[in-house]
Structure formats: structure tokens, C-alpha cells
Amino acid sequence: MNSGDHGVFLIVGLGNPGLRYRNTRHNIGFMVLRRWAEILDVRLAGRAFWAKGGRARLREQEMILLCPQTFMNESGRSVGACADFYRIEAQNILVVHDDLDQDLGRIKIVKNGGGGGHKGVVSIFQHLGTRAFNRVKIGVGRPRYHEPVDEFVLSPFYKDDREVVEKVLKGAVKACEVFVGRGVAQAMNLINRQNFANKEE
């Protein structure tokens, strides 16, 4: 497939629906897509594919922004239905989600990676029948106060992390833009070596 003929891109943010989860670590994927949708002036709405979504364009490239509303461990149902409907190839899918194994401030773009125990990602593997899609893994770190991990990911960021979270959201939006505009290798080169927690960023 040449670079001028990409077809439609599907950009997915993972999270749990409902106000109770709105600003929790597990919902960082939703936060990134909401931020990008604001910049693109796109409304994430509707109920198609058990998701809030919107069509958008970046330069000439057509995209679908999707936030599944199925709860995290059923995310694949939504992503699979959307990808099937629009016949979107795995290489054109980008999934944005939280990652416990990286510190807050780190963003890692991967393709063909493992699930790392992330139930949303594992669900997408099952429903797409492939791991050949791309991901933006956003570090949320580990519990600081010995909280159980499931409680930690379903809680808001610590107050003193909010400044870094803001930088991370900007960095993750940039990652999505570069992925769509220039491809996954360029996005990896630009994003994976940065630490968005650094003061001079």
C-alpha cells in the first residue's frame, strides 16, 4: 500500500463510561481522544458500535475517533464492529491506553505488542483476531501509597501529577497526529525517547 493510499484510520481511546470514571488513570485513552476531538472541532457522540465517536480529517486523511462505551474488558466488541463495518486494516488502527509498567511522563508507541495484562487490549486482540494494530501506551506509574492496583487505576491522578498529565495529553495527541500523518515508525522515533515529566519540556 503506498503512502498516498492509506484508507480510513481508526483511532481508539480506551476507558470506562460514566462520570465515576471520568478522570481516572484507566481513562487516559478517553482523555486523549477528547482533547484531540476538541482541537479538531469534532463532537464525540452517538451510539453506533457501542461507542461515542466522530469522523474527522487530518490534512487529507480521513479518520474515525472512537471511545467504546462497553466498559474496558469488552472494548474489543466496539473496535471490532467499527473496523469490520469500515473495512479498516489492522495497520491503520491506533489504540490509546494506560500502561502500569511505565512511569507517568512516558509514552510508548508499539505495534504487534503483547497485552501486558490490559483487559481492554486483550479484548481487542480477541475481537480483531490479530495483534497487528498499533498502540499508544501511556505510563501511569505504580501506586505510591500501596493502594491495590485495581483501585489505583480506577482513581484520579494524584494532585501533584496533574501538570505532568497535561504534558502527557499534549504528547499523546502529537503521537496520534504523527502516526496518521507520517506513519508508525516516525511516531515511535519522535515520542518513545521523550520523557514528558521533564521540567524543560
**Residue 109 covered by a domain:** yes
Domain of 85 in residue numbering reads as 9-191
Q: Look up the pTM and report it.
A: 0.95
**Residue 40 covered by a domain:** yes
**Residue 45 covered by a domain:** yes
**Residue 198 covered by a domain:** no
Cell numbers of 150, please? 485495581
* Model confidence pLDDT, tens digit, residues 103-143: 999 999 999 989 988 999 999 999 999 999 999 999 999 99
Mean pLDDT computed over every residue of the chain: 94
Catalytic positions, written as ranges: 26
Q: What CATH number does residue 120 fall under? A: 3.40.50.1470
**Residue 196 covered by a domain:** no
* Model confidence pLDDT, tens digit, residues 138-183: 999 999 999 999 999 999 999 999 999 999 999 999 999 999 999 9
Structural domain count, the chain: 1
Return the exposure string of 147-165: e unless at least 16 CB atoms fall within 10 Å of the residue's CB, then b.
eeeeebbbeebeeebeebb
**Residue 163 covered by a domain:** yes
Residues in the chain: 201
